[in-house]
Structure 1
Amino acid sequence: MTASPSAEPPVRVGLIGAGPWARDMHAPMLAAGPETTLTAVWARRPEAAALLAGAHGAAVAGSPEELFDSCEAVAFAVPPAVQAPLAVRAARAGKALLLDKPLGADLASARTVAEAVGTAGVVSQLVLTKRYHPATRAFLAAAAAAEVTGARSCYLHGAFLDGEMATGWRLSEGALLDLGPHLLDLLDASVGPIARLRATGDPRRWVELTCEHENGAVSQASLSGSVRLPRARARVELLGAGEELTWDSAGAGHRESWPLLRSEFAAAVRTGVPSPLDAARGLRLQELIAMGTRD
């Protein structure tokens, strides 16, 4: 009988990045185990890397290559323009990749990541946190049995107005690149593959997407990180001849997604079989985003 992934030694994961997302999500999730252990942290700011590593009993790597030498897999919590070239280096070093979304700052860099993963034959997985929540899995299972005529969705919050996330690429690129992967992934998975996409508005304020799906259904998505709300609002409504199906982020907190995300990544590393949420899926989402940014 084949041993279960939980019977295997924990996967040794190195973390690239020491910002808010690394501090609040990646490091505590990976260090909590039991399927993974956080071995080392590297960041462009050595003092931030030391602080985060010290909080979780990990080493501080002096370079990405030193981090690669200490681990089996690499997790990324850095801006997309930083992630893409480092992910290529990690793949070439034979490391499994736990990738943030989007894969890269643009479609070309996302393609280089996906191609590097394919050439190296390494396991990859996307941190699309909402996909690892049991409520999301139940919603997608119900959607697979439904005939959907149309869908409405939104992902709205005010994090770009102030706070730790109101910096860098999120402010310059806006909601389409940051929030778009989550919502487009859910629509593509629940309604059916998206064939065409049109965008209107300003991604730095509010952008509206109209998606035409291969099965003839039409969906709409509203995205903004610049509206003041008591809490983030993310919702998908599927409508057709049957009963309405809904998914709401109010029942899909990040922490509740950690156990499944961690266990599925560890299983993928140990078996060599990636989940469907891999770099190829990330490239597919980036292709959809590119449709929305064309003139």
Structure 2
Amino acid sequence: MTSSTLPIDSGPARFGLVGTGSWAGRTYAPVLGSHKAVDLVGIWGRRPQAAAELAAGHGTTAYDDVDALFAASDVVAFAVPPDVQAPLAARAAAAGCHLLLDKPLATRPDAARAVVEAADAAGVASTVFCTLRHAPLTAAWIAEQAGTDGWFTGRADWYGALYTPGDDAHVRATTPWRAEKGALWDVGPHALSVLLPILGDVRTVAAHGGPGDTVHLVLRHASGASSTAALSLTTPPAAGGTAVELRGTQGVSAMPTGTGTAQEALAAAVDALLEAARGGAAHPCDARFGLRLTQTLAAAERSLASGRAEPVPEH
């Protein structure tokens, strides 16, 4: 328990939302606006007019000053690019706000670490919204596999068609940071968020480029197991799909499909964060885990440049 712990019987928690893009508008604002345990008190964005429009659509206040939004909030949710998110999240934590973070936490390990340190110093809870860690069906499967011994290897395939050449509609519908950073940073956190809790921290990673923005990772885990991940946002539409498979002494286990909507998973993430903020156990997919994802992906980025396996720094 800390001075930042939310009282259990305090009623709906005051949430501020940072972000006004399509992800904020399609997922975050509707979930926060309809969640029974949430009072959406305001929205701030880098585009004031977009903030005003989104706030008006959800019956809340548009803030011109992000620090004023932090002062009015118990919890701040972030739906902005990772390297915009990280410094703002550290400021929100310093203001005593619990943190609902998007993935990746940051694309630089030092920026991600600053969020962890700010949250620790303020005694605030955090959760990173990796959808498969919060969607009930996949969260239960991950927990079950993490409790099973003897995994030998695993693979995670994330094949998306967001930037398929010639499909301008997809490119227009997405965001500049995804176009710049590609599949490694956009869908890489999803793959790692499943593999790491089951197979353990990554000790070394080798990364190799494929067609378009495709990246293939070979991971060596602290448990001694190995895994691979195939990540792409430039897959031909007919070839897209997601799969995770584990092999070990107990046989083969595949991650279930049909995991529900992003809004359902976000509502579960809100519940998990509020439990932690009210003195419950920290969620395993918190800012510290977000730092591990960033450190692993940064090592993969170095491997792409160096052509050799790179170590992932220990905590």
TM score, norm. by length of structure 1: 0.92
* Amino acid in the other structure paired with 2:265: S
Determine which of 183, 201, 207 is the counterpart of 2:215: 207
* Amino acid in the other structure paired with 2:158: Y
- The percentage of aligned residue pairs carrying the same residue is 37
Matches within 5 A, 1:155-234: 155-161=158-164, 162-201=170-209, 205-229=213-237, 233-234=241-242
Determine which of 297, 300, 311 is the counterpart of 1:289: 297
* Amino acid in the other structure paired with 2:130: L
Counterpart of 2:311? Answer: none
Determine which of 104, 107, 121 is the counterpart of 1:105: 107
Counterpart of 2:250? Answer: 242
CA distance in 1, matches of 2:242, 2:8: 33
Deviation at 1:258, TM superposition (A): 3.1
Moved more, 224-233 or 188-197: 224-233
Matches within 5 A, 1:259-278: 259-271=267-279, 273-278=281-286
CA distance in 2, matches of 1:203, 1:59: 45
Matches within 5 A, 1:13-52: 13-52=15-54
Q: Secondary structure at the match of 1:216?
A: coil
* Amino acid in the other structure paired with 2:60: A
Q: Structure 1 residue 114 and structure 2 residue 116: aligned? A: yes
Moved segments of 4+, more than 6 Å: none
- Which runs of no fewer than 5 residues in structure 1 stay unpaired? none
Counterpart of 2:155? Answer: 152
Q: Is the 8 A contact 2:28 2:266 kept in 1?
A: no
* Amino acid in the other structure paired with 1:189: P
* Amino acid in the other structure paired with 2:108: D
Q: Structure 1 residue 85 and structure 2 residue 87: aligned? A: yes
Q: Is the 8 A contact 2:156 2:245 kept in 1?
A: yes
Deviations 1:153-207 (A, max 9, x none): 1111112342455331111111111111111121011223322111110696100
Q: Is the 8 A contact 2:127 2:269 kept in 1?
A: no
Q: Secondary structure at the match of 1:75?
A: strand
CA distance in 1, matches of 2:117, 2:172: 32
Deviation at 1:8, TM superposition (A): 4.2
CA distance in 1, matches of 2:35, 2:161: 32
- Is the alpha carbon distance of 1:231 and 1:250 closer, same or farther for their aligned partners in structure 2, counting shifts above 3 Å? farther
Counterpart of 1:134? Answer: 136
Moved more, 217-226 or 201-210: 201-210
CA distance in 1, matches of 2:231, 2:50: 31
- Which runs of no fewer than 5 residues in structure 2 stay unpaired? 1-6, 165-169, 307-315
**Alpha-carbon RMSD:** 2.2
Deviation at 1:230, TM superposition (A): 5.5
CA distance in 2, matches of 1:252, 1:269: 26
Q: Is the 8 A contact 1:130 1:254 kept in 2?
A: no
- Is the alpha carbon distance of 1:254 and 1:146 closer, same or farther for their aligned partners in structure 2, counting shifts above 3 Å? farther
Deviations 1:215-274 (A, max 9, x none): 221110000011132696222100123231111453343233133212111222222753
- Is the alpha carbon distance of 1:114 and 1:249 closer, same or farther for their aligned partners in structure 2, counting shifts above 3 Å? farther
CA distance in 2, matches of 1:249, 1:283: 27
Deviation at 1:105, TM superposition (A): 2.9
CA distance in 2, matches of 1:50, 1:135: 36
Q: How many residues align?
A: 292
Moved more, 207-216 or 258-267: 258-267
TM score, norm. by length of structure 2: 0.86
Deviations 1:129-150 (A, max 9, x none): 1111121122123312242111
Deviation at 1:58, TM superposition (A): 1.0
Determine which of 71, 74, 77 is the counterpart of 1:75: 77
* Amino acid in the other structure paired with 2:286: D
* Amino acid in the other structure paired with 1:227: T
Deviation at 1:118, TM superposition (A): 1.6
Q: Is the 8 A contact 2:44 2:69 kept in 1?
A: yes
Q: Structure 1 residue 124 and structure 2 residue 97: aligned? A: no
Deviation at 1:69, TM superposition (A): 2.1
Moved more, 122-131 or 195-204: 195-204
Moved more, 52-61 or 100-109: 100-109
CA distance in 1, matches of 2:239, 2:218: 25
Q: Is the 8 A contact 1:191 1:238 kept in 2?
A: no
- Is the alpha carbon distance of 1:191 and 1:253 closer, same or farther for their aligned partners in structure 2, counting shifts above 3 Å? farther
Q: Is the 8 A contact 2:13 2:37 kept in 1?
A: yes
